Amino acid sequence: MQGCNNYCSYCVVPYLRGPEESRPIRDIVEEVRKLADYGIKEVTLLGQNVNSYGQANSGRTPFSLLLRMIGQVKGIERIRFTTSHPKDLSDDLMQCFADVEALCEHIHLPVQSGSDKILKRMNRGYNREQYLDKVDRLRNIRPDISITSDVIVGFPGETDESFEATIALMRKVRFDNLFSFKYSEREGTAAVGLDGKVPEEIKRERLQYLQNLQEQHTLERNKTLEGHTEDILVEGTSKNSEHDITGRTRSNKIVNFRGRKDLIGETVPVLITKAYLHSLRGDI
Ligand code: SF4
């Protein structure tokens, strides 16, 4: 699907891509079947706001139904989707993480800010409590789920207190990874007219602080996998050593390990021996 109906106040996507448009469910399932026939094992469903898939169509085909149908395609071992909007993360969709075996235990769920005042100014359509509630529910359904997110720092009106609210939310959730950016104005968006612009120097300081904290959390989360055996879908040779091959856990973490190149394209069990910030090390 493409396009977006949300009009977050900082974002140009709805102006550039237009309103949400979803491909028919049959087309997608058929395409995935063909991919599986070619030997493809992993598919990623894409959309600016992918979990509102089907809502703009008269038939209201929910995203969870699409996931359940693709989950039954023989040969597809891994399903991923991105990007999700927290307000469209339904109970039924969350339940798929328990019911659909091929659905990988990872979700990218952009929060953008931990402050209700800023979330309102961003026109995100949820508040801090609702976001945290969805995280709790996801973890109840799938305790080992990996959660990644996006944060914008220095949005107009962001005070020290609102920034602290974002930091407190990060400490509570402990994201597996976080993509963070300094706010920058996009011409034609509603946020351009907002007061309370944050000076560049403060944005830089806040971003640095937040990224340092996230590095601690990422390493902490990666270390929980040490000593565990993970299924790795081998994607290629490692960038660092020609003797190593590389792939991802279902939770979307990179793992490097010794192995033959003919394992590329296969799924192999790998014991995680060491966790780093950006990857894991393991043994078949
Ligand atoms: S940030 Fe995402 S949800 Fe918001 S308007 Fe842009 S594409 Fe849509």
pLDDT digits (tens, 9 = 90+) for 117-144: 999 999 999 999 999 999 999 999 999 9
Query: Cβ(284) to ligand 1 under 6 A?
Result: no
Q: Compute the distance from residue 22 Cα to the ligand 1 centre, in Å.
A: 16
Q: Among the atoms of ligand 1, which is closest to the Cα of residue 17?
A: 7
- What DSSP assignment string belongs to 113-173? -S-HHHHHHHT-S--HHHHHHHHHHHHHH-TT-EEEEEEEES-TT--HHHHHHHHHHHHHH
Q: Compute the distance from residue 153 Cα to the ligand 1 centre, in Å.
A: 16
* Phi, psi (rounded to 5 degrees) for 107: -140, 135
How many Cα atoms within 13 Å fall on the side-chain side of residue 83? 14
User: Which pTM was predicted?
Assistant: 0.95
**For the stretch 1-40, what's the b/e string if a residue is b when 16 or more beta carbons lie within 10 angstroms of its beta carbon?**
bbbbebebbbbebbeeeeebebbebeebeeebeebbeeee
Where the chain has pLDDT below 50, the residues are 58-59
Q: Compute the distance from residue 8 Cα to the ligand 1 centre, in Å.
A: 5
Query: Cβ(85) to ligand 1 under 6 A?
Result: yes
Query: Cβ(50) to ligand 1 under 6 A?
Result: no
Alpha-carbon gap, residue 219 to 224, rounded angstroms? 9
Cβ proximity of 113 and 122 under 8 Å: yes
pLDDT of residue 58: 46
pLDDT of residue 57: 53
In the chain, the largest separation of any two C-alpha atoms, in whole Å, equals 58
Domains with residue ranges and CATH for the chain: 13-223 (3.80.30.20), 229-283 (2.40.50)
Q: Compute the distance from residue 36 Cα to the ligand 1 centre, in Å.
A: 31
Q: Which two tokens stand for residue 238?
A: 């490692």
